[in-house]
Structures are given as structure tokens and as C-alpha cells.
Amino acid sequence: MKGHKRDILSSGKAPLKSPVAVSVALHLLVFGVALAGWSWSTPPEPEPRSISARLISPEPRPSPVVEEKDQPDKDRERKQAEAQERQRVQEEKARKEAEKKAQEEAQRREEERRRQEAQAQELAEKQAREREAARQKAEAEAKERERQKAEEERRKQEEVKRRAEEEKRRQEEQRRKEAAEQERREEEARKKEAEKKRLEAERRLREQQLEALAEQASQDREAEARKQQEAAAARAREAQMLSESEKYQALIRERLSQAWYPPSSATENMTARLQITLLPTGELVGVKLISGSGNTAFDNSALSAVRSLNRYPIPENRDTFERYFRQFTIEFNPKKMRR
């Protein structure tokens, strides 16, 4: 029953619109099923057969009496006796037999009469019993109908009550569920809040740590940056000095190229190296021929060129000057000679 109902309910093909409709349908169904059940549950009961059987056993045969003779010594006598006896027994036996037969015949007739009597009585009894049974049966049937009707009524009432209870339980359940849900939600919210707070706290802590780290990093970085700046400045100074030096090297090269008149005897494999010493003003303090070309005119042309500059173009930066231009070497080596 329940399963059936659940089936219907759970078959969501046609969801029932309202509980009332469900209830009505349910009632109808229950009622129908109950009726059907009643009609099916009364199969025709067979009439009870009450047979009173009586076993009539024959009369036990009396045991033959044997007379004991005392003395076997008188065999012949005894034999004679015995034969006489035997004759007498046999006679006795036949007489008894006839007697018994007559007795049995009487007994049989009596029996037959008794049996007929029993039969008649039995038939009467049987008819009375049958009437009684029919009466009882009708009575029972009426009673049963009455009972079933009451039962049905009770069931109906029970059903209504059960349904009401069920409804109540359901509502109760619903309320409980809602309450639980509410509880759960609240719990969740509380949890959430707690989690949020925890995260917030964690975040704050982390941020503080990070801030501390960042602060440290920043300090380190600054220190590093200072160091780097210093190194970079040193390098920059170096690079600047170098680039400045290169600039002034180029200037000196240009000036000397213009001032140098390589003699016509010069060849590409002639090289004169001169060491130059300058004052910070760019004035030439001294020039020394480190290695000559082997050609006096060529060496002279180089020396003359070096001395022809009134003032060497030198960097203003004193460090650069000291590093590169206080003393340096000039090499004269014609790469393209006009000839």
C-alpha cells in the first residue's frame, strides 16, 4: 500500500497539484483496494465432514487348556489316555466350533442391526449438523460482514487519522527541516564569519610580515642600491674617463694626423714610437723616441709632428688626464702612403 503510494508520488510524470487532490486520490484508491480485497478474501469454505468411525474388534479366543499328566512311565496308559483325551478334545473342539459358529451368526445379525441403527442415527445427526453448520455459517458470515464493515470503518478512520498525523508529521518534519536549515545556515554564516575573521587575521599577519620583509628588503635594497650606485658611479667615472679619453685620443689623433708630414721615403712598414709627457695644461713636457723606424727623415717627421702641437687637447678631468694623458705613447705608422 505504502509502496504503491510512494510509487505514485515518486513517479513525477504528473505531479499532483495539491495535497487535497492527493488525499482524495489516495482515499479513492484505498477504498477501492479494500473492497477488492474483501471480495477476494472470502473463498467458498468446504463443508466440514465429521465422520465418527468405530472400530469393532472380534472377541478374543480363549486359550486352550492343557491338562498335565504326571507320570510319563506309564507310556501306554498314558498313550491311551492321550488318545482318549485327543478324542475327547476333538469332540469337544467340534462342539465348540459349532457353538462358536452359532454364536458368531447371532453376533453378526446383531451387528447388522446395530449398524443400520447407527447409520440412521448418523444420517439424522449429519442432517442436524449440516443445518447447524449452515446456520452457524450464515451467522459467521453476517458477523464477518459486520466485522469487516467495522474494520473498514476503523481503517478509514485510522487512515484519516494516519493521514492527519502524517500531514502533521510532515509539517512537523518540514518545520524541523526548516529549523535545521535555518540552524545550518546560521551555523554556516557563523562559520563563514569565523573563517573570514581568521583569514583576515592571517592576512593581516602576513601583511605585517610582508611589510616587515619589504621594509627589510627596502633597506637592503637601498643599501644595495647605494653600493651599486657607488660601483656604477665608479664604473661610470671609469667609462666616462674612458670615453673622455677616447674622445681626446681621437682629438689628438686628428691633430697629429694633420700635423704629420710623412716623408716621401716613408713606407708602410716604418713605425716610430714616441713617448709623450704632458702637463695638465696640455703642454708638452717631453718627447722621447722609444723605437725608431730606421729612417731618420721618418723619425724626424714624427718628432716634428708631436712637437708641432702647442697644446694637446686633453680632458679637463684631472683623473682622466692623470690616468691616460700624463704620459702616453704615440705610434706613427703610415697605412696608406701616397706614392
Partner 1 sequence: MLMTDRKFCLDRILKTPAIVWLALMLTLPSGARAELLIRITEGASSAIPIAVVPFAESGSMPAGDKVSSVVQSDLTMSGEFRPLEPSRMLSLPSERSEVYFRDWRLLGQRYVLVGQLTRNGDRVQARYELFDVNQEKRVLGETAAAPAGNVRSLAHHISDRVYEAITGVEGVFSTKLAYITVSGQGDQTRYRLQVSDVDGKRAKIRLESREPILSPAWSPDGKKLAYVSFETGKPVIFVHELATGERQKVSDLPGLNSAPAWSADGRSLLMTLSRDGNAEIYSKDLASGKLSRLTNHWAIDTEAAWDHSDRGIYFTSDRSGGPQIYHMERPGAEPRRITFGSRYNARPRPSPTGDYVYYVHQRDRSFHIARMNLENGEESVITRTGSDESPSVSPNGRLLIYATRQEGEGVLTVVSADGGAAYSLPASEGEVREPAWGPVTR
For 272, the enclosing helix (H) or strand (E) is strand 272-278
CB 251 within 8 A of CB 313: yes
CB 163 within 8 A of CB 23: yes
Options 245, 278, 314, 315; binder of partner 1; rule CB under 8 A: 245
- Least spacing, CB of residue 169 vs partner 1, in Å: 56
- Options 30-38, 132-140, 156-164, 325-333: segment touching partner 1 (CB under 8 A): 325-333
Report the Cα 7 to chain-centroid distance in Å. Answer: 29
Site membership for partner 1, residue 269 (CB under 8 A): no
Rounded Cα distance, 65 and 7, in Å: 88
Q: Scanning residues 212 to 231, which ones bind partner 1 (CB under 8 A)? A: 213-214, 217-218, 220-221, 224, 227-228, 231
Residue 134 or 250 with smaller CB distance to partner 1: 250
Sequence-ordered list of residues with C-beta below 8 angstroms from that of 42, at least 6 positions apart, any chain: 144
In the Cβ-directed half-sphere of 178, how many Cα atoms lie within 13 Å?
A: 6
Rounded Cα distance, 142 and 265, in Å: 161
Site membership for partner 1, residue 49 (CB under 8 A): no
Residue 89 or 259 with smaller CB distance to partner 1: 259
Site membership for partner 1, residue 204 (CB under 8 A): no
Residue 182 or 228 with smaller CB distance to partner 1: 228
Rounded Cα distance, 307 and 261, in Å: 13
Residues that bind partner 1 (CB under 8 A): 210, 213-214, 217-218, 220-221, 224, 227-228, 231-232, 234-235, 238, 245, 249, 252-253, 256-266, 295-298, 300-308, 310, 323-325, 327-336, 338-339
